[in-house]
Structure 1
Amino acid sequence: MLIDSGMFDALWSMEFDGICSSSGSGAGVVLIPPHRKVIPYSFKLEFQNMNNMAEHEALLLELAKARRLQIKKLKVRGDAELIVKQVRGLFAIKNERLRHYRNHVWDEIEAFDAFSIEALPREFNSKADSLAIFAALLVPHLDFTTNTCRVELVYRPSVPDNSKSWEVFANDK
């Protein structure tokens, strides 16, 4: 898709969702340029994780894409209220692994001139949710088929998993 270079200074929106189940894990993101035609992304997460990690992965994968596109202003919305509040610094994080994820998100945010993040009700995040399910289960949704969206495989987490607390958590799972 060709995008007018002047649009990168305008406000873009992004909606994200992550899913982790016994059937698979995935991340779904909808990037919405100023012209409002959505750009869907699905990521199949091929590594051990938990639901909050999948949510963070969705956020981080799309922040990285937005940064590579040189987008300067970004409004982010997701239905994971806990993740949103942690990124905004409103909730403490006890798990060291998740704290590393939040800190990595903070590092990515610094690349933007303007950034906001807010929670939205799950029913208003259906496109990102469908993309996450599409990636996790490899079952296309009516809105996003293999003709309109592809699934990228992600074999490593955005944040290295060499933390001792992650090993303890994984064993307790």
Structure 2
Amino acid sequence: MLKWAVELGQFDLEYMPRTTIKGLALADFLLEFDSEADDKALVVSRPSHTEEVLEEFLHPWWILHVDGAVNNGGAGVGIVLVSPEGHHLMSAIHFKFYATNNDAEYEALINGLKIALGMGARNLIAKSDSKLVVNQVNGGFQARGPWTELYLRYTQRLIGKFKEVRMECVPREKNSNADALAKMGS
């Protein structure tokens, strides 16, 4: 942060870190001040698709980007949760315990799932740049080692609390916000 303060100082700009907003407080704020909520109505023209349309309307898709990072300063994760309306909730977490790269990736996913559950998400697309974690969660790879098995079981238990979760592996450049937050957290 000192580097940014020095860089921005020459332009008479002052760096002020963002304050954190608790996820539930933000959700309460959005619900409380949604003036158009009373004006909305669902009109379905085709009775054969009523359930599908109603389900999509009641439980829209959220997008979760997660990444973990480990370096000499420790381990951290970056989480970006995007609401169906396009609002970005970002979190960087620093861990005060030893973690491998794979541990950090699982920690990022677990914490992201918990945040999504706290925000009331029912349908979720989770994106990570860790092929190993994505394939283990999707059932393509076996989890080896006691810690990895515990992480996988806990992740699957959290996923079971959603209506539907799609796990996708994305290239690092398409996960840049979560990657930057993870580096900042570590």
TM-score normalised by the chain length of structure 1: 0.74
What residue number does 2:120 align with?
70
Which residue is 1:94 aligned to? Answer: 144
> 2:60 — aligned with what?
10
- More helix per residue: 2
Contact persistence 1:25–1:45 (CA under 8 A): yes
Shift of 1:8: 7.2
* Local SS of the residue matching 1:125: helix
Mapped to 1, the partners of 2:160 and 2:137 lie a distance apart of 13
User: Where does 1:42-57 land on structure 2 (aligned, <5 Å)?
Assistant: 42-57=92-107
Distance 1:93 1:121 in 2: 22
Q: Which amino acid is 1:58 matched to?
A: A
The answer to whether the 8 Å contact 1:8/1:71 transfers is no
Q: Map of 1:142-157 to 2, 5 A cutoff? A: none
For the aligned residue pairs, the C-alpha RMSD in angstroms reads 1.7
Alignment deviations for residues 66-105 of structure 1 (CA, whole Å, 9 cap, x no partner):
1122211111001001100000110012211111101100
Higher RCO, 1 vs 2 (CA within 8 Å, ≥6 residues apart): 1
Q: Where in structure 2 are the equivalents of 1:15-164 lying within 5 Å? A: 15-136=65-186
Query: Identity over the aligned pairs, expressed in percent?
Result: 29
Of 52-61 and 36-45, the range deviating more from structure 2? 36-45
**CA–CA separation in structure 2 for the residues paired with 1:21 and 1:103:** 26
Runs of 5+ in structure 2 lacking a partner?
1-25, 38-56
Query: What's the TM-score once normalised by structure 2's chain length?
Result: 0.69
Alignment size in residue pairs: 136
